[in-house]
Amino acid sequence: MKKYLYIAFGLFLPVLVSAQNREGLGDTTAMRQVTMETVDVIPAAVKVKGMLLLNKEVQYELEGAVDNMYNFKYERAEKQFKSLRRRYPEHPLPYFLMGLSQWWKIVPTNIQTKKYDDLFFAYMDTTMEKAEELYDKNENNTEAAFFLAAANGFSARLHSERSNWRKATVHSKRAIEYMEIAKAGNGLSPEFLFGEALFNYYAIWIHENYKMLRPVLAFFPDGDKRLGLKQLRHVSNSGFYTGTEAKFFLMKIYANEEGNLDESMKIAQSLATKYPDNAYFQRFYARLLFVQGHFSMAERVSLDILHKLDQKMPGYEAVSGRYASYILGYVNQNKYRDLDKAKQYYLESIMYAEMSDERDSGYFINSYLNLARISDQLKNKSQAKRYYTIVLNASEKKSPAFKEARTFLKANKKVK
């Protein structure tokens, strides 16, 4: 049920942040370092005709700020967002952007950290308050409906992660209602299309993967999975605020739902190149490189991740360390045959998994599994037995890891 709320309710109109510039994939054999320039604060007020969301002057001004946020230069980004708030204190946009900055401090921890929750919800609540004031004046205000759908949907997403089911449900219902109203602006900008695109894809995905929820889906608008993907691709190419978010979801959808690793890799490489200090993009890219056998590149990205983690760079947490350490352990074990280094990295991966309380993760189990294999290879049966015992207790009974551990332990009962 938690996953249903997370997907069906929380993802309809999620993060409204992206970069304007679109760079090609470039050289896939090396990471290009991109330097984000410091954004100057422009305090002078600007008279805006029409929707602030679609104003090109404001977009031009915010381009560097949004880039900085995605590159985890939070202080620089928030300086500019606060400048926008000083000039437009009654508009929901600056409050929403400040809330999104808090969200991207939560993302690298796999949504585990709660230290930014209060500030995130405060900004989203203010976004809703400002948007409601605009909507009350004009119920045809699609921009206000957009922010009401986005802020409610995003709040629902985090509430569901925190098991606040009542609040998640209330915000989800509001998000869907306002999403339908905001759809009237689809022809004005791809920003408005983003929510519908996610809904179209995930409504069908839930129907296909969760049969028990099909009666509930009868109360939702119809979805269209292929159309949803098409819409997401359009938004990823054309959206200012939602373009990078569309890429973010496309990257995950292609990898996790569609099984199209080549397309996911293209997007991941583009995001990792443009935002070299975004820990989430970097580790997703490293994982795809690893899974597809690009070990040299996976090694380079993983070493960079661990270096940034050691430097305590923003967003580089234990989760990223777990990914990178495991990849480096595997590369040293199977490519370089350096078993001592491999053991060191596997132990680091285990340490990071314990730090993030993810002892049931594949990286945790497989680190112990490979440590057991290395110990067995080095004729240290006693140590191998200890590692295999941990694998046996931590893995699913029908999994290959469980079966391998059970076979070894049965054959080595007398080993102490």
* pLDDT, tens only, 335-349: 999 999 999 999 999
Mean pLDDT of the chain: 85
Q: What is the pTM of this model?
A: 0.85
283 in any annotated domain: no
CA torsion angle for 117, 120, 122, 123 (degrees, to 10)? 180
Instruction: Pull the structure tokens for residue 337.
Output: 């045959």
Are residues 270 and 303 both part of a single domain?
no
pLDDT, tens digit (0-9, with 9 covering 90-100), for 220-267: 566 778 999 999 999 999 999 888 889 999 999 999 999 999 999 999
**Average pLDDT value for residue range 33-50:** 38
**Average pLDDT value for residue range 172-188:** 85
In which domain, by residue range, is 54 found?
2-276
Are residues 196 and 320 both part of a single domain?
no
Are residues 257 and 319 both part of a single domain?
no
Q: Tell me which residue of 88, 83, 81, 97 sits closest to 42, measured CA to CA.
A: 83
Of 208, 243, 276, which marks where a domain is finished? 276
Distances (CA, A) of 226 to 190, 200, 216, 232, 376: 17, 8, 22, 10, 49
Is 3 a residue whose pLDDT tops 50? no
Please work out, in degrees rounded to the nearest 5, the angle formed at the alpha carbon of residue 163 by the alpha carbons of 183 and 5: 35
Q: Tell me which residue of 155, 146, 235 sits closest to 190, measured CA to CA.
A: 235
144 in any annotated domain: yes
Say which residues have a Cβ less than 8 Å from residue 291's Cβ, sequence separation at least 6: 261
282 in any annotated domain: no
Q: What percent of the chain has pLDDT over 90?
A: 69
7 in any annotated domain: yes
Are residues 262 and 304 both part of a single domain?
no
Q: What is the Rg, in whole angstroms, of the alpha carbon atoms belonging to the chain? A: 23
Q: Tell me which residue of 208, 260, 209, 205 sits closest to 228, measured CA to CA.
A: 205
Per-residue model confidence (pLDDT) at position 193: 87
Per-residue model confidence (pLDDT) at position 42: 35
Are residues 198 and 246 both part of a single domain?
yes
Nearest-angstrom CA–CA distance, 351 and 45: 51
Q: Tell me which residue of 377, 303, 311, 368 sits closest to 339, measured CA to CA.
A: 377
φ/ψ of residue 132, rounded to 5? -65, -35
Are residues 374 and 237 both part of a single domain?
no
Among the residue ranges 102-111, 126-135, 167-176, 253-262, the one predicted with the least confidence is 167-176
φ/ψ of residue 336, rounded to 5? -95, -15
Among the residue ranges 106-115, 120-129, 155-164, 290-299, the one predicted with the least confidence is 155-164
**Average pLDDT value for residue range 183-193:** 84
For residue 205, name the pLDDT band (cuts at 50, 70, 90).
low
CATH (domain of 313): 1.25.40.10
- Beta strand spans in 309-348 (E): none
Per-residue model confidence (pLDDT) at position 8: 42
Are residues 334 and 232 both part of a single domain?
no
Maximum mean pLDDT: which of 51-55, 327-331, 358-362: 327-331
Q: Which amino acid is at 250?
A: L
Are residues 404 and 346 both part of a single domain?
yes
Is 15 a residue whose pLDDT tops 70? no
Per-residue model confidence (pLDDT) at position 261: 97
Are residues 10 and 56 both part of a single domain?
yes
Are residues 211 and 325 both part of a single domain?
no
Where residue 315 falls (left for φ over 0; alpha for ψ -120 to 50; beta otherwise) is: left
Q: Which amino acid is at 208?
A: E
Number of domains within the chain: 2
Instruction: Pull the structure tokens for residue 229.
Output: 């993907």
pLDDT, tens digit (0-9, with 9 covering 90-100), for 349-364: 999 999 999 998 899 9
Is 39 a residue whose pLDDT tops 80? no
Is 305 a residue whose pLDDT tops 60? yes
Q: Which amino acid is at 288?
A: L
Instruction: Pull the structure tokens for residue 252.
Output: 């995950």
Residue with tokens 């070299």, as numbered in its chain: 276
Are residues 315 and 221 both part of a single domain?
no
281 in any annotated domain: no
Is 12 a residue whose pLDDT tops 50? no
